[in-house]
């Protein structure tokens, strides 16, 4: 059992280089492991014909961070070791490993002890960002993902609240995401984050995003920021002047040209929730089941939107990391 920090990430952190953490549960459980097929409609440009969808996502996100001038730090559990800074080859091997699951705060100790391999969720990736400090004296301050977990719909009857919320409340990292996944109770998730003292910023938009769905004026209103420099300034005040320990959630709307029209997904989400609720399965299977249902219902348009926002968020996170390094 060990925590392993790659040499290039350690060197970058010690010299003030811009680093962006990337979670891997999106590769092991969030995106399909298959090649783009006819059932998904038109294939997006970033998915090569001979490349599995999740592998294409890994390559595109790495490129997005690097093109912004930052260094990607992919994080995962590999044979029981918490690896921070996987090589691109290792990331793609993980994406191709269909036996790899996902690991969160409640399961990471057992998965490590059993020497298993798994992708890290938002919560576990945040934990890794903070653990880095014990190895090189610096934590990873910027993290990009698609959408955070939160409070599930019908939580009063099927109590299901993501560990991501507690992790955001206790880890001083700037998380760049397209809000909370649209399969969740978004309003309750926002309210919970506010109660936990997590600043929520809207990057050039004053509405909390609904993951892959288009914006609505009924979405919760949040504090708008117009530049990455403004994000960095708010982070500095939050952590250094106010000595707050929580993260800062910087939200980005999904690219307008691929966002799913609001209301399109409600029926399939409700139907899938009913099926899932009748199975008695544990909560970890809930989100993958819902995302798979959305992919088939939209003929792949939900995957296209997910890929686009993942890359956009990775790019903006890279810009924030560069700006953060320039002010330190």
Enter the tokens of residue 15: 């010299």
pLDDT tens per residue across span 48-61: 999 999 999 999 99
Whole-angstrom Cα distance, residue 307 to residue 47? 9
pLDDT of residue 109: 95
Report residue 227 CA to chain centroid gap.
21
Handedness of CA 212, 214, 220, 225 (dihedral sign): positive
Please, what is the average pLDDT of the chain?
A: 92
pLDDT of residue 201: 98
- Residue 230, pLDDT > 90, answer yes
- Residue 185, pLDDT > 70, answer yes
Place of tokens 């590999």: 78
Whole-angstrom Cα distance, residue 9 to residue 287? 31
Closest CA to 260 of 210, 326, 223, 316: 210
pLDDT of residue 177: 98
Give the predicted TM-score (pTM) of the model: 0.94
Q: How far is CA 247 from CA 100, 126, 130, in A?
A: 28, 9, 11
- Domain boundaries, given as residue ranges, for the chain: 2-327
- Regarding predicted confidence, which is higher, 326 or 6? 6
Our CA dihedral for 15, 18, 97, 2, rounded to 10 degrees, sits at: 40
2-327 belongs to which homologous superfamily?
A: Indigoidine synthase domain (3.40.1790.10)
Which range, 131-140, 158-167, 220-229, has the best average confidence (pLDDT)? 220-229
DSSP sequence for 83-129: EES--HHHHHHHHH-TT-EEE-TTTHHHHHHTT--EEE-HHHHHHHH
Contact 49, 43 (CB under 8 A): yes
Enter the tokens of residue 72: 């990607």
Which run of H or of E encompasses 74? strand 71-78
pLDDT of residue 135: 87
Identify the three-state secondary structure at position 232: helix
Whole-angstrom Cα distance, residue 229 to residue 326? 10
- Residue 279, pLDDT > 70, answer no
Burial class (CB within 10 angstroms; exposed 0-12, middle 13-18, buried 19+) of 51: middle
Closest CA to 305 of 189, 200, 193, 179: 179
Percent of the chain with pLDDT over 90: 79
Confidence of residue 155 (pLDDT cuts 50, 70, 90): low
Whole-angstrom Cα distance, residue 220 to residue 183? 16
pLDDT of residue 116: 97
Q: What is the mean pLDDT of residues 267-290?
A: 65
Which residues fall within 8 angstroms of residue 286, CB to CB, at 6 or more apart? 152, 160, 276
Largest CA distance in the chain: 54
Enter the tokens of residue 193: 């984050």
Report residue 123 CA to chain centroid gap.
9
- Regarding predicted confidence, which is higher, 42 or 170? 170
DSSP label at 215? P
Our CA dihedral for 71, 73, 74, 76, rounded to 10 degrees, sits at: 170
Residues labelled catalytic: 23, 181
Confidence of residue 92 (pLDDT cuts 50, 70, 90): very high
Q: How far is CA 51 from CA 65, 161, 307, in A?
A: 20, 34, 14
- Residue 287, pLDDT > 70, answer no
- Residue 278, pLDDT > 60, answer no
**CA angle centred on 249, ends 131 and 143, rounded to 5°:** 40
Which residues fall within 8 angstroms of residue 156, CB to CB, at 6 or more apart? none
- Residue 275, pLDDT > 70, answer no
Handedness of CA 153, 154, 160, 165 (dihedral sign): positive
- Residue 256, pLDDT > 70, answer yes
- Regarding predicted confidence, which is higher, 224 or 288? 224
pLDDT of residue 241: 97
Enter the tokens of residue 264: 């399109």
């Amino acid at each position: 059992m060990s925590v392993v920090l790659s040499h290039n990430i350690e060197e970058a952190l010690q010299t003030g280089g811009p680093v962006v953490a990337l979670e891997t549960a999106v590769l092991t459980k969030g995106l399909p492991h298959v090649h783009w097929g006819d059932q998904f409609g038109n294939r997006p440009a970033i998915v090569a014909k001979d490349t599995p969808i999740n592998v294409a996502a890994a390559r595109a996100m790495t490129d997005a961070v690097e093109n912004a001038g930052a260094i990607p730090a992919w994080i995962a559990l590999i044979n029981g070791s918490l690896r921070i800074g996987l090589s691109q080859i290792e990331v793609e091997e993980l994406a191709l490993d269909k036996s790899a699951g996902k690991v969160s705060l409640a399961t990471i100790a057992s998965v490590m002890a059993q020497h298993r391999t798994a992708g890290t969720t938002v919560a576990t990736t945040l934990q890794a960002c903070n653990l880095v400090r014990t190895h090189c004296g610096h934590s990873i301050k910027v993290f990009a993902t698609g959408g955070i977990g939160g409070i599930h719909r019908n939580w009063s009857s099927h109590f299901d609240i993501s560990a991501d919320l507690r992790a955001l409340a206790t880890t001083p990292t700037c998380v760049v995401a397209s809000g909370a996944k649209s399969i969740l109770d978004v309003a309750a998730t926002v309210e919970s984050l506010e109660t936990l003292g997590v600043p929520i910023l809207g990057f050039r938009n004053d509405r909390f995003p609904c993951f892959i769905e288009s914006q609505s004026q009924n979405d919760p209103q949040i504090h708008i920021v117009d530049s990455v420099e403004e994000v960095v300034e708010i982070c500095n005040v939050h952590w250094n002047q106010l000595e707050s320990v929580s993260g800062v959630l910087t939200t980005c709307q999904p690219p307008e040209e691929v966002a799913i029209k609001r209301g399109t997904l409600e029926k399939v989400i409700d139907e899938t929730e009913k099926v899932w609720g009748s199975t008695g399965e544990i909560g970890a299977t809930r989100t993958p089941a819902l995302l798979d249902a959305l992919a088939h219902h939209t003929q792949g348009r939900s995957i296209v939107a997910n890929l686009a926002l993942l890359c956009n968020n990775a790019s903006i996170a890279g810009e924030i990391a560069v700006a953060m390094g320039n002010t330190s």
